[in-house]
Amino acid sequence: MSTLAAQPFDFVFELPHTALVLIDMQRDFVEPGGFGESLGNRVEPLQAIVPACQAVLHAWRALGGCVLHTRESHAPDLSDCPPAKRLRGAPSLRIGDAGPMGRVLVRGEPGNQIIDALAPLPGEIVIDKPGKGMFYATDAQVQLQQRGITHLVFMGVTTEVCVQTSMREANDRGYDALLLADCTESYFPAFKAATLEMVSAQGGIVGWVASSTALLQALASAGPAASAPAPQSVLAAAAGPGQAPR
């Protein structure tokens, strides 16, 4: 059992039942020439969180913790991209158009790859998601249930779009979710600040918020993830599709 100081109160988790979730740390959002910039945003602020994300990822991997990466992506024929999403607004490039990093937000294109600094290792879960949330039209819940995961630690971009949507989806599915404030970023500083507040307000209505330093301290005193067996309640929940994880 590990405990770390968080808002609105301590976050308590067991490493064997907790997954580190990296939301959409792909070139499309973090590098110039991708979807994020095509929407009129400056991508540089998002690059600033990479070292903190890397420190957490390395510490998590060293303890054998479960890691899940997501990519916002669409099939090459755009069959999973609703016109309402593709036609929204006035981007300089629409989803599926050919850009400097290949077709925008299309699976397998160079821009859709997770940045080298945080690239998935073999055995880590990679979820290609057509929506903003990690559970919509994906098998993320099945993957997590198979591993007995009940708690999620979130990093990634952007705070108020794909990270917050995924946290809300996770909350409704019964996961306890923590957001690392210095490992997430938005193109809009005010939106990030508001999201951190709204996640942890009202007694943790969506989840918890903490710093990566607090998590790293907790991990320093945690044992390897493989040391504890999955509780029976978690394994039983895994048998029922669509059930809460515990």
Contact residues for ligand TIU (CB under 6 A)? 24, 29, 39, 72, 132, 157-158, 161-162, 187
131/135 Cα distance (integer angstroms)? 9
| 18 or 70: CB nearest ligand TIU | 70
Give the nearer residue to ligand TIU in terms of CB position, either 7 or 158: 158
Is 24 an active-site residue?
Answer: yes
Cβ atoms within 10 A of the Cβ of 70, count? Answer: 25
Q: What are phi and psi of 176, to 5 degrees?
A: -90, 125
Residues in the chain, overall count = 246
10 Å CB burial of residue 191 (0-12, 13-18, 19+) is middle
Catalytic pick from 53, 66, 81, 162?
A: 162
Residues 149 and 187: beta-carbon distance below 8 Å: no
Residue 98: CA atoms inside 13 Å, Cβ hemisphere, count?
A: 0
Active-site residue, selected from the candidate residues 28, 53, 66, 129: 129
**Closest CB to ligand TIU among 19 and 161?**
161
Instruction: Mark whether 162 is an active-site residue.
Output: yes
Provide Rg for the chain, Cα atoms. 17
Kindly tell me which of 65 and 156 has the beta carbon lying closer to ligand TIU: 156
Smallest separation (angstroms) from ligand TIU to the CB of 59: 24
CB of 139 to ligand TIU, least distance (A): 19
Q: What is the nearest approach in angstroms of ligand TIU to the Cβ of residue 151?
A: 22
Kindly list the catalytic residues.
24, 129, 162
